[in-house]
Structure 1
């Protein structure tokens, strides 16, 4: 048989909710951080674009006539003065080319020689409107047209140092991460404490329901929240339910005691009748012995009668004691148990003049590995109910069959159908209605305890109740 993998332990609700709140805060922090970084990127891009535009426009005004005249020394001198300015420190390299793209001058002539192709410098350059501090490098390359008096007279290539902006962005990201982590940690701790406090009544309720070993206990008044909130009402409702369950259990206990006394009364009445009849014969035998002490054959016959009567009384007494004695758990069912039941039920059968059909297919050498006590209780309760239901001169049947996998008890009786209240006791778990016994409920509980099942059928004015008990205790419960 394939074994299922063990289920992982469930996480308490008092842990789940703070974790969920922390996860939501992490999500909110991540979204907020992303928005902050995007805003910072837009500000930095606008700033670098504005700086580059001012640089290009200023050079265009200053260099336009010089480029037209190809005055290389003046162009170089202008670039050198521009590089000495405050914002010129961000411009690590600037080169100016004519209309053909040939370099006229550059701030670093050794890197960008005169008359070289400006395309070699601006191979990865972008236009002014596409300039962006995207974090791919600390230097941005810009290629812009040199416009003078409305026409393009050359090109300007510039490399801008944005390492300080990238450092600013990294510092902002680090501060956001640290701030979010600190805020999430503090808020998670505060949320854990708050949720734990709010859920304390629920935790108490769960503990009361799971750790009471089948007997619920009320929640102490000191642990019930004040006021009239939902949790306070829940705790009070639970306490009311515990009181109702205790009252129900007490009522069922009293009903069980009353049913026991009723059953004992019925058995006592039948046994008194069964014992009283032989006593008359025994007294006649003693009178005969006193009257004819000199006739050995009469004395012998009377002594035999006394022996049989006394043995019968001994058997009836023994069965009565056995029926009310708690059997040890290791005593299994044998044919003698059913013979005892037959002797025990016989007075009731005789009193009502019933026709009893008795069939037990259980050999001594093939004992059923089932506890004898519960089976005897089940059979006796069902037989007493069958005798009562069949009425005087009715028919009662008792059939037992033990096979390899189960023991089957079948009790039949003539008479009216089993009332709904009796069926509820035999098949239901609800509260017992007043005015009835608990014998059938006891049959149900004993059968469930043995892992068995119960069946009921009414056909041709005959009621048939079948009880099946598996010989293996691992068999599942079932009901029909």
Structure 2
């Protein structure tokens, strides 16, 4: 029955209903034909009984006297009177089975054995119109005054009964065909109408294009039936999915802002320290304006401090501004990430291990913005996990057409809420790291994968990204 699987339900149900109607029609036709056959058998038996009984009354004395001519004359008169009736041939025999007379002497000669005529003959109670022949044969005893004095063999024409049976069969076939055709059409339309909500539900589920849409209220049947409840349940699920997606989007935005807040706090300390030195340099210039060497040293200090502030500001802008065009990743982006993470590393007195392969990064065709977000969020969480005087690291290399970013830290293992945010797409549980769900979304949008390992007191998170992002995006 596997061949039925591709057929839509709106087709299979009418076909099943039509098959059941064909079965019912066949059974009903058999019952009608059986009833008609029983009526016809009863009719032919009644006619044969009347024929035999009438001949027995008329021929009984003649057979006892072996009056052959009177027997023949009686049969001839009976045949003449019964012209147009069913009797085709009748023969009368004595007690020994020798023919005394027949309506067709040439076919059944006198003094012949009646058994030759009655080879296929049956008794009166077994007489039946079986449809094999238009003539049925009957062999019955000739009884007179309670005594069997001979035998009567007769052939009866039942062609009209067979014609009536064939006509009834034809009418049944035509009637059943018309009824089945009409009922199948009506059933098909009715089932299609009843299954319209299911068809709409299937279409809504298969043509979502990543965003399910609710079933319009006009397409939901009235009442509280199973299909109505199914459609309303689906609409509730669509609403819940949309609410979940919106909540996760807002949470990702909030986590992004939390990460930026932490980064801004670190950058504020990074900027504030040089500002103190710059202000001292300006005071020195004002106080010792007449000493060129002091002024030159102070100017050099001002230049180094301002350049450092410029680099920090530029890196911050590159990290957070939204470029109208996608810019591909370069080794300078990792230098910016290192500059941005350095204040947090210094604040926590962390040991930073940095290994970036410039040739691998240069050969990649990956957008810079998402990669910077991924690396910075993972490094911020690694710094928080490593704690005071811990160790964090970043490795960027290419392997087999894949850009691999690996962030490590010597802190404790990641808790389950943080792992759920980083590795799963399910609902978010309370707790977890900052920006980890954003990292997963960004990696998934780039066609990448995330792997997490914690062993020997070190946590390693590896993000694998296709180096040919444009080709991957085109395939998706």
**Do Structure 1 and Structure 2 share a fold, with TM-score over 0.5?**
yes
* Structure 2, unpaired ranges of 5+: none
**Other-structure match for 2:25:** 29
Calculate the TM-score normalised by the size of structure 1. Answer: 0.78
Instruction: Tell me if structure 2 keeps the 8 A contact 1:451–1:470.
Output: yes
Partner of 2:8: 11
Aligned to 1:380: 376
Distance 1:30 1:272 in 2: 91
Query: Which moved further from structure 2: 253-262 or 154-163?
Result: 154-163
1:436 CA displacement? 5.9
Cα distance, 1:7–1:203 mapped onto 2, change above 3 Å: closer
Provide the residue aligned with 1:45 in structure 2. 41
CA-CA distance at 1:404 after TM superposition: 1.8
- Do the aligned partners of residues 456 and 61 (structure 1) sit closer, same or farther apart at CA in structure 2, a change above 3 Å counting? farther
Of the three residues 398, 413, 417, the one matched with 1:417 is 413
What RMSD in Å do the two structures reach over aligned CA positions? 4.2
- Structure 2 residue 171 is the aligned partner of structure 1 residue 175: yes
Which of residues 59, 72, 94 in structure 2 aligns to 1:76? 72
Deviations 1:302-324 (A, max 9, x none): 88777766665555444434433
Contact kept, 8 Å, 1:205 with 1:235, in 2: the verdict is: yes
Identify which range, 396-405 or 196-205, moves more after superposition: 196-205
- What do the CA deviations read for 1:284-315 (whole angstroms, capped 9, x no partner)? 7788899699979995x888777766665555
Local SS of the residue matching 1:379 = helix
Matched, 1:132 2:145: no
Q: Does 1:341 align with 2:333?
A: no
1:64 and 1:362 mapped to 2: Cα distance?
131
Q: Given the alignment of the two structures, is residue 265 of structure 1 paired with residue 261 of structure 2, yes or no?
A: yes
Segment of structure 1 superposing worse, 135-144 or 189-198: 189-198
> Do structure 1's residue 442 and structure 2's residue 463 form an aligned pair?
no
Does the C-alpha gap of structure 1 residues 119 and 88 become closer, same or farther in structure 2, counting only changes over 3 Å?
Answer: farther
Q: CA deviation at 1:156?
A: 3.5
Question: TM-score normalised to the size of structure 2?
Answer: 0.78
**Shift in alpha-carbon separation, 1:82–1:466, aligned structure 2, 3 A:** farther
Q: Tell whether the 8 Å contact from 1:40 to 1:169 is kept in structure 2 after alignment.
A: yes
Structure 1 residue aligned with 2:50: 54
Cα distance 1:455–1:307, how it changes in 2: closer, same or farther (>3 A)?
same
Is 1:462 matched with 2:458?
A: yes
For residues 68-467 of structure 1, the aligned pairs below 5 Å read: 68-85=64-81, 89-98=85-94, 102-116=98-112, 118-146=114-142, 154-192=150-188, 194-277=190-273, 313=309, 315-324=311-320, 335=331, 337-360=333-356, 363-364=359-360, 367-368=363-364, 373-404=369-400, 406-433=402-429, 439-467=435-463
Tell me the matched-pair count: 468
Structure 1, unpaired ranges of 5+: 1-5, 476-480
Counterpart-to-counterpart distance in 1, 2:127 and 2:324 = 94
Q: For the residues of structure 1 that align with 2:207 and 2:395, how far apart are their CA atoms?
A: 44
C-alpha separation between the residues in 2 aligned to 1:453 and 1:63?
A: 110
Alpha-carbon spacing, 1:42–1:397, altered in 2? closer, same or farther (3 Å): farther
Aligned 8 A contact 1:219 1:235 in 2: yes
Query: 3-state SS of the aligned residue for 1:89?
Result: coil
**Per-residue deviation at 1:355?**
1.6
Deviations 1:169-223 (A, max 9, x none): 2232233333334444444454455545544544454455445544344445555
Change (3 A) 1:402 1:86: farther
C-alpha contact (below 8 Å) 1:255/1:438 kept by paired residues: no
